[in-house]
Amino acid sequence: MAKITVRYFVQRKGNPFPRYFWAPSSELRREGWALQRIPDNWDSYGDGAVLYAAAIAKAQALNQMLDDRRGAAIKAPPPAALPRTVENLIREYRMSDWFKPLGPKTKRDYEQCLARIIDWAGDCPVRAIDDDRISKLRKGMARTPTFANAVVRVLRRLLGFGVKKGWIMVNPASKPGLIGTPPSGKIWPRAAIAEFIAAADDLGCHAIGTAVLLDEWLGQREGDVIRLPRTVYRNGELVFRQAKGQSLAKGTQGSGMVLPIDLVPELKARLAEQLKRNDDRKVKSLVIIQSEITGQPYKEDFFRHEFARVRAHAAARMREAKGWYRGKDGVWRNDQVAAKVADLPAKVRAEAMAAAAADAATFDLDYLLPGRDIADPDCFKIGMEELQFMHLRHTAITRLGEFQVSP
């Protein structure tokens, strides 16, 4: 019987007839092609010559199947390159090491900005983005300058990624000309600090009150305060370093800060009380500011929610102390004020009541806020519900100035 040469056809000794296999190469096996004994019904044959012919036919059929599949893959056109639009650059950016290592909150903030960029120029070729287009983007968001600046900063980073990928040669947003945002000038009066802490304790949110008192003296960002480890408080001092500007690669850190706690008795007492509360819980955490519910550090979103709840409660306490009460419809009322405006037209009366209710939760200031008109009778007042946690940074700096600390 003449021997026929067929790719991947292998013969082995057997009894009473040889054994035949289709044995693809190791490369083909990695692609999923498996070793097979052939033909499929090899054990039903009683004639060696017929078995051999059937095995050859099966091997040739498998080779044809292999060739057809591989030929189709070779002949298939390569996938078309994605158009180099802004939206497609954003897709690549999201999958890159420029985006993946970012923290959850940073990613969330970036996604808001990227969504705005897609609305603005998603189908526009990246190479068509120039100074004029970026200027129009900025001007279109002039009413929200803070968000406009955030969007332009993310655009600058995105186009920098485009330069690295070779989509464009120069980053047109490298010097975007951010919109100047004047400082709010809002500072927490000391009475507001006291009112807020009392309201926090009243709601059982002691850690929120501690965070506000701490930041009156530290002036840190909200995220830094709620992550302050217990180790920063040692030997009667708060000792820590600014994380901003830190470079592990260069071995540098931000400037060091030391606050002798003995100089601030109310803060010293508050910290001692907070740490005792933390230690009394079954759930232990290494940070100072812990949620009373979980015993764990606050997530920033939940901290902001609880901060707003405490602030609203503080404003309500201030109004109630001045004879105001909230009706079932949620509107604040005061019988004495209502009697004074009873003769006014309904619309004017409602506006007067609302203004009086707002005034009942304000503090007197000894300075003029930026943007306020000296002719406005309320220009030297600030409402409890106007105050934000970030204003404690302004407050801490102002306190230092009051104590004649140099710039």
Q: Using one digit for the tens of pLDDT, what is the confidence trace for 139-152?
A: 888 888 888 889 99
**Among candidate residues 89, 181, 177, 183, the one with its CA nearest the CA of residue 138:** 177
When mean pLDDT is compared across 7-21, 252-266, 353-367, the lowest value belongs to 252-266
Average pLDDT over residues 202-209: 95
Mean pLDDT: which of 46-50, 74-78, 247-251 is highest? 46-50
Please give the pLDDT value at position 181: 56
Per-domain boundaries in the chain = 9-75, 86-165, 190-307, 321-402
* Count of residues in the chain: 407
Task: Examine the pLDDT at 177 and tell me if it is beyond 80.
Answer: no
Residue % of the chain over a pLDDT of 90:
30
* pLDDT interval class at 156 (50, 70, 90): very high
Please give the pLDDT value at position 318: 95
Average pLDDT over residues 31-59: 86
Task: Examine the pLDDT at 199 and tell me if it is beyond 60.
Answer: yes
Please give the model's pTM, rounded to 2 decimal places. Answer: 0.60
Q: What are the pLDDT digits (tens) for 234-253?
A: 777 787 665 444 443 444 44
CA distances, 64 to each of 17, 69, 161 (Å)? 26, 9, 47
SS (H, E, C) 236-277: CEEEEECCCCCECCCCECCCEEEEEHHHCHHHHHHHHHHHHH
Q: What are the pLDDT digits (tens) for 275-317?
A: 888 888 876 778 889 988 888 889 888 999 999 999 999 999 9
* pLDDT interval class at 198 (50, 70, 90): very high
* pLDDT interval class at 121 (50, 70, 90): confident
Please give the pLDDT value at position 179: 62
* pLDDT interval class at 78 (50, 70, 90): low
Q: What are the pLDDT digits (tens) for 52-68?
A: 889 888 999 998 888 88
SS3 68: helix
Q: For 185, list phi and psi in degrees, rounded to 5.
A: 70, 5
Average pLDDT, the chain: 84
Please give the pLDDT value at position 250: 44
Average pLDDT over residues 87-108: 89
Please give the pLDDT value at position 321: 94
- Across-strand partners of 287? 229
Please give the pLDDT value at position 76: 55
Neighbours of 38 (CB within 10 A): 22
Please give the pLDDT value at position 186: 83
Please give the pLDDT value at position 113: 93
Average pLDDT over residues 177-193: 76
Task: Examine the pLDDT at 269 and tell me if it is beyond 70.
Answer: yes
Please give the pLDDT value at position 174: 85
Please give the pLDDT value at position 249: 41
Element (H, E) at 21: strand 19-22
Q: What are the pLDDT digits (tens) for 206-221?
A: 999 999 999 998 888 8
Neighbours of 295 (CB within 10 A): 15
* Cα–Cα distance measured from residue 152 to residue 106, given in angstroms and rounded to the nearest whole number: 15
Please give the pLDDT value at position 26: 83
